[in-house]
């Protein structure tokens, strides 16, 4: 039963209503400083901490709750006769609830121009100590560090007269997690400011055991970053299907990032297999985009992950009849489409991410290697410049297609090239890609160019245009754009591109042989743009 509560908060959101609710339950309220003033101004009877301790707040408020009559009232074990006897002997009254949140240290140090003295004054001492004392004795004391929890606590007190064991346990864990993060922020700031040392501390929660890791014999767990509230797999809701595996998360993340690069101007679909987009297209409708993305590599699309930037509709669902896919990730699903897909397979995972088209909520990425962690800024942007470096001008009307092609290339494992085509006004499709090769020549000659012809042959047989296949593929590749994730170290890449009738090339440039590469492009009447931005993805 809660008889006395100590309230001392920096974030005063909801504290008056919470205190009024406690007062209505005849719970005595102890408070400090600004919190006590706010409660009194609201007409809520409040006892100053100084009345409990017999000492005034001192040293500019640095010392007020650090006293045995406060911490004894919190830490006393109610079932321990020795504890209870000592409390009675020293006139220590028990405190059954603490609501405390801390000085905003992280917010303070994130402000431009903050100095060390200001930062140090925002290191809370009494607050974390109160929270930890109360949380340590969670079997008897309810501890609240987040205003979001006031309502649930009041609800339980009003209905049952007590706060349940389950709620007290949950709140205690939340406190220790909160104070650990708080101390971590202080460590990170002071390590850099005082010692010039960079410290990286990461906070991941809600570990979920996955079906297996990269391979069946490996165990895997997914941990959520609670700070990320935007588009992320951690915020996706699974509507149907079996549990996700390690590779599902990796591939779905690639699909999400690929579609985010393309944007949401038109419906767009990415089809990802083994952490590479094997299909990518935009369209006037979702189904049109899906059909063309599937044409990008219908063989690799078997067992793939599909991601789209718009609500998944029934027409698109019906297109997948007879096609095996592992996951569909979308901002939402039309009711008929959802039911159709559920009937299609009990194993098909359907992931809904309402925040899909919001901006990403982080500017950094991390990768663990044995013995250390790599941290870098996200690869943001498509190009730093747009310089046509050849005698043959680069058509401005191909800018949209070129940007789409770069988006595809950014999500493809290096050394990568992508080939993209404008199949309809403002609608683009990646017709082939070459990825994961130790050299770029193989990505062009053996993979992208070869795959493009194979894919176009399937479309040719289906659509039966009034021309030979030779004329058909040459007409498409000659109007396609090829993007490379890095510079061409030799001119052989240009020569092999010409053999496949590719006339438009996007490259970062920056090779010591750029002049040689440009000269070969000029000799072959190829138009080439240097962007100044490399897009390796390892």
Which one of the listed residues 224, 242, 274, 342 is annotated catalytic?
Answer: 274
> CA-to-CA distance for 424 and 57, rounded, in angstroms?
74
Spatial neighbors of 47 by CB under 8 A, at least 6 apart, are 28, 29, 30, 31
Residue 66: in which H helix or E strand, if any? Answer: none
Strands (E), 205-357: 205-209, 221-224, 237-240, 268-273, 276-282, 304-308, 325-330, 349-352
Phi first, then psi: what are they for 408, rounded to 5°?
-65, -40
CA angle 138, 66, 203 (to 5 degrees): 55
Contact 304, 325 (CB under 8 A): yes
> CA-to-CA distance for 314 and 180, rounded, in angstroms?
48
CA angle 408, 411, 413 (to 5 degrees): 115
Instruction: Specify whether 83 is catalytic.
Output: no
How would you class 43 by CB atoms within 10 Å of its CB: exposed for 0-12, middle for 13-18, buried for 19 or more? exposed
> CA-to-CA distance for 84 and 227, rounded, in angstroms?
41
Q: What is the CA radius of gyration of the chain?
A: 31
* Residue given tokens 């982080």 in the structure block: 362
User: How distant, in Å, are the alpha carbons of 138, 222, 230, 256 from that of 233?
Assistant: 33, 10, 10, 8
Tokens of 469: 């296949």
Contact 13, 104 (CB under 8 A): no
How would you class 293 by CB atoms within 10 Å of its CB: exposed for 0-12, middle for 13-18, buried for 19 or more? buried
Instruction: Specify whether 178 is catalytic.
Output: no
Which one of the listed residues 83, 136, 170, 323 is annotated catalytic?
Answer: 136
Identify the CA nearest to 465 among candidates 500, 423, 433.
423
Identify the CA nearest to 426 among candidates 392, 409, 403, 406.
403
Diameter of the chain measured on Cα atoms: 102
What torsion do the CA atoms of 73, 74, 80, 83 make, to the nearest 10 degrees?
-40
Contact 227, 203 (CB under 8 A): yes
User: How distant, in Å, are the alpha carbons of 165, 242, 327, 378, 406 from that of 362?
Assistant: 36, 29, 24, 8, 22
User: How distant, in Å, are the alpha carbons of 8, 22, 63, 90, 360 from that of 52?
Assistant: 14, 19, 14, 12, 49
Length of the chain: 538
Residues classed as catalytic: 136, 274
């Amino acid at each position: 039963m809660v008889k006395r509560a100590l309230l001392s908060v920096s974030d005063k959101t909801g504290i008056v209503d919470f205190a009024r609710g406690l007062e209505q339950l005849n719970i005595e309220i102890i408070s400090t400083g600004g919190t006590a003033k706010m409660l009194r101004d609201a007409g809520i009877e409040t006892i100053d901490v100084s009345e409990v301790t017999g000492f005034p707040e001192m040293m500019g408020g640095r010392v007020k709750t650090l006293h045995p009559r406060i911490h004894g009232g919190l830490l006393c074990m109610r079932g321990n006769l020795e504890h209870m006897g000592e409390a009675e002997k020293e006139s220590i009254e028990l405190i059954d609830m603490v609501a405390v949140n801390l000085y905003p240290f992280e917010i303070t140090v994130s402000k431009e121009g903050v100095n060390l003295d200001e930062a140090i004054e925002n290191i809370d001492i009494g607050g974390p100590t109160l929270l930890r004392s109360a949380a340590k004795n969670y079997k008897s004391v309810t501890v609240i560090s987040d205003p979001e929890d006031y309502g649930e606590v009041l609800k339980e007190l009003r209905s049952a007269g007590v706060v349940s064991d389950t709620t007290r346990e949950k709140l205690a864990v939340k406190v220790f997690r909160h104070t650990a993060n708080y101390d971590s922020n202080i460590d990170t700031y002071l390590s850099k400011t005082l010692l010039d040392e960079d410290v990286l501390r990461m906070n991941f929660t809600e570990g979920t055991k996955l079906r297996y890791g990269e391979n069946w014999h490996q165990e895997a767990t997914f941990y959520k970053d609670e700070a990320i509230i935007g588009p992320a797999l951690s915020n996706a809701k699974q509507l149907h299907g079996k549990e996700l595996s390690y590779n599902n998360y990796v591939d779905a993340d690639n699909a999400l990032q690929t579609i985010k690069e393309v944007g949401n101007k038109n419906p767009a679909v990415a089809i990802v297999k083994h952490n590479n987009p094997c299909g990518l297209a935009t369209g006037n409708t979702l189904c049109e985009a899906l059909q063309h993305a599937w044409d990008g590599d219908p063989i690799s699309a078997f067992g793939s992950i599909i991601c789209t930037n718009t609500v998944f509709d029934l027409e698109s669902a019906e297109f997948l009849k007879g096609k095996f896919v592992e996951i569909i990730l979308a901002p939402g699903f039309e009711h008929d489409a959802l039911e159709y897909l559920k009937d299609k397979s009990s194993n098909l995972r359907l992931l809904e991410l309402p925040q899909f088209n919001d901006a990403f909520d982080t500017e950094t990425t991390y990768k663990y290697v044995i013995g250390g962690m790599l941290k870098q800024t996200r690869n943001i942007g498509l190009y730093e410049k747009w310089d046509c470096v050849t005698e043959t001008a680069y058509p401005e009307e191909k800018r949209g297609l070129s940007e789409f092609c770069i988006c595809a290339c950014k999500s493809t494992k290096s050394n990568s090239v992508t080939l993209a085509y404008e199949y309809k006004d403002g609608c683009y499709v990646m017709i082939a890609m070459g990825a994961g090769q130790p050299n770029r020549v193989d990505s062009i000659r053996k993979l992208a160019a070869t795959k493009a012809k194979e894919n176009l042959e399937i479309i040719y047989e289906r659509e039966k245009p009034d021309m030979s296949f030779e004329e058909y593929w040459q007409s498409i590749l000659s109007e396609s754009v090829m993007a490379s994730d890095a510079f061409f170290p030799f001119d052989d890449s240009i020569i092999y591109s010409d053999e496949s009738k590719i006339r438009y090339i996007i490259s970062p440039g920056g090779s010591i042989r750029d002049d040689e590469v440009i000269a070969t492009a000029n000799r072959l009447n190829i138009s080439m743009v240097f962007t100044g931005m490399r897009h390796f993805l390892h």
